[in-house]
Structure 1
């Protein structure tokens, strides 16, 4: 329960601390590519996500099979919850946009961050969501998908000509305990990044 309280305090503190940074990010150097602009935008959020995992006392082991290709990719996870998404955002080697619950956009400061990070609002209109993802990826930004998002990521990969990188996580579900009184406990977390492949070729890319 103590760790859970510290996590909430840390999250609130970092959110307020980054108000000034958010204002600075409104005027990114237009000479930078979209991918490099996103790196600048995601720099602090990635550190924040790693800090959230670190506050639980957990250890993260990354198992990567093959080098992630240059350029944007579609990361695909079997089934994501919020903690697993935080793990991926903090520890993947590429910056990647993602789906967020519509409720997260209700809060002005969080909404500004999500919009700046090119986060797509999860909703019933799958066609509009896929169009947003296509626009983001074509600009050079990677995207994280879950198999239960209802998006045909294989067709999307083929259409965009970008690789799919399957990813899996283990152990993080054991980190949060309790129903009425939440508490966090240290766990050993595994992040597995499988070899990338391209649907049009049905072959794994060589490192």
Structure 2
């Protein structure tokens, strides 16, 4: 119980602390220093993720970082076990990235502001027209040079079993032309979801598979990209 209280206290304080960097981000913009502005948003998110993982005493073993292209934008496609998946990806993969996120996150003060600055895209899965626009915006963000994280299951599994990958969100991989990097996340559900919301210090494993180039696939493989990605990730997910 004390760890849970500690974690949420650090969560709130760290979110409030990020407001110190907001004026800096705006000054960089006013000065036309777009690269510095971009890095500011990235490192705020990166260190925020690391702080929260530390507060929860979560240890992350990450394998395959060499499979993340150093240059250019990519589409990270991962399974989704827990809310902590976001902190893990923010704090353990040091590459600027946005998220295709559920629209409910747009209601969180300060966090929403930083998500906008990171070019995150909010999707309302109950609104087909808005969902199509969100996918199109993701493609634009990637073509602008920002990497994007997508969870094609659409919601947390809250356990080791993976749901089906929805084809719609993977249109981003088809249309953006960016390499698709499969990310298998194992054990994050044990941090919170398996404990009725209480925080538990556990070991988490992240395995990054070699990137897939959509245009290099056959027509048949392109039509089954959702299955190929799901199978690739499932092969690397381990229940610890």
TM-score interval, normalised by the smaller of the two chains: 0.7 to 0.9
| Cα 1:77–1:110 shift into 2, 3 Å | same
Matched, 1:13 2:18: no
Alignment correspondent of 2:152: 147
Determine which structure has the larger helix proportion and give its number: 2
Within 2, Cα distance between the matches of 1:52 and 1:87? 9
Higher fraction of strand: 1
CA distance in 1, matches of 2:112, 2:65: 35
Structure 1, unpaired ranges of 5+: none
Superposed counterparts of 1:21-100, under 5 Å: 21-28=21-28, 29-33=31-35, 37-64=37-64, 66-69=66-69, 70-79=71-80, 81-100=82-101
- Give the Cα–Cα distance (whole angstroms) in 2 for the partners of residues 175 and 46 of structure 1: 20
User: Greater relative contact order: 1 or 2 (C-alpha under 8 angstroms, separation 6 or more)?
Assistant: 1
Pair 1:57–1:108, CA change in 2 (3 A): closer
Match of 1:187 among 192, 202, 219: 202
> What is the deviation of 1:80?
5.0
* Contact map agreement 2:190 2:202 (CA 8 A) in 1: yes
8 A contact 2:179–2:212 mirrored in 1 = yes
Moved over 4 A (4+): none
How many corresponding residue pairs?
199
For 1:113, what is the secondary structure of its paired residue? helix
Q: 8 Å contact 1:46–1:89 — kept in the other structure?
A: yes
Distance in 1 (alpha carbons) for counterparts of 2:172 and 2:105: 26
Under a length normalisation based on structure 1, what TM-score does the superposition of the two structures give? Answer: 0.86
- Is the contact between residue 165 and residue 193 of structure 1 (CA under 8 Å) also seen in structure 2? yes
Separation (CA, whole Å) in 1 of partners of 2:170 and 2:52: 32
Structure 2: where are the runs of 5+ without partners?
155-165, 219-240
Structure 1, residues 22-55: CA drift from partner, whole Å, max 9, x if none?
A: 122123252444xx64332120221111111112
Q: TM-score scaled to structure 2, two decimals?
A: 0.75
